[in-house]
Amino acid sequence: MSNTIEKIKCLIIGSGPAGYTAAIYAARANMNPVLYQGMQPGGQLTTTNEVENFPGYVDGVTGPEMMIQLQEQAKRFGADIRDGWATKVDFSGDIHKVWINDTIELHCETVIISTGASAKYLGLPSEQHYLNMGGGVSACAVCDGFFYRNQDVVIVGAGDSACEEAHYLSKLCKKVTMLVRSEKFRASKIMEERVRKTENIEILMNHDTVEVLGDNNVVHAIKALNKTTGETIEIPATGFFVAIGHKPNTDIFKDYITLDETGYIVNTPGTSKTNVEGIFVAGDAADHVYRQAITAAGTGCMAALDAERYLASKE
């Protein structure tokens, strides 16, 4: 551990639209924010090739380009953007303690948590290849479904989110094939009935994804295994959507911050406040419903404003 303790008025843990927006607002309010970018600077959007639904970008923008612009905007107002990630916290006392990379100890008046959530993937080498290529694998139908209009796609998942995304895709795509890995849905009955009644959704129960097929650049088909018969089939598709859940990046906070049963931070409704005074949350670390760049940015604004008001109340 470092012998030097740095005192910080406003610490932002994590980047992405939530963290960078919080940094912009906090910097403009003379809170001298320090932002540590985390293990994936820019967050999930850095894996997105095209962002077309963020207001103000008439011709769209790539995810990485958008994150660079947000970062530079925060820097312009004086935000201190740093490499590194939080590895330990202690929110038990009046001083909020955070350790960066296990070596740097920070004592913070306020902390904004914007660590986000990570999409779960199947872990297939071919899936990861086309995900990294931006060639047809996605974990967000709302974000990327538009690019597959009038095309055939495959979605894997069995919960409410998977059903919701399959239904969303059915309005855009020619055909949606839904692979359910077991013999029954995990979704609520009403969501299951919705996809079953949608004409252009074909549901294949008890099917595992074996491989994502393509020309090394873009997806052409999905190879799936019928676990009942042992038969392997190839499903023509230009897009493969993985809807098996997200994991919020909140493990280091669980001893101090109230989390729900799936690990998302519980905030006071209508605010960014957590159960600990002076600790605020923004973005997907608390949002398991919308998970959009624009909503994350909005909660980043809220967190900075809440932190500013908290500091003013202590003066």
Catalytic center residues: 140, 143-144
E strand or H helix at 280, and its extent?
Answer: strand 279-281
Residue type, 83: D
DSSP-derived pairing of the beta strands 104-113 and 96-100: antiparallel
Q: What three-state secondary structure class fits 67?
A: helix
Region of residue 208 (phi > 0: left; psi between -120 and 50: alpha; otherwise: beta):
beta
Give the pair of three-digit tokens for residue 99: 């350790």
How many Cβ atoms are within 10 Å of 313's Cβ, its own excluded?
8
Phi and psi, residue 224, nearest 5°? -130, 150
Residue that is written with structure tokens 């088909």 in the block:
221
Residue 11 CA to residue 36 CA, distance in Å, equals 8
Residue 248 CA to residue 267 CA, distance in Å, equals 14
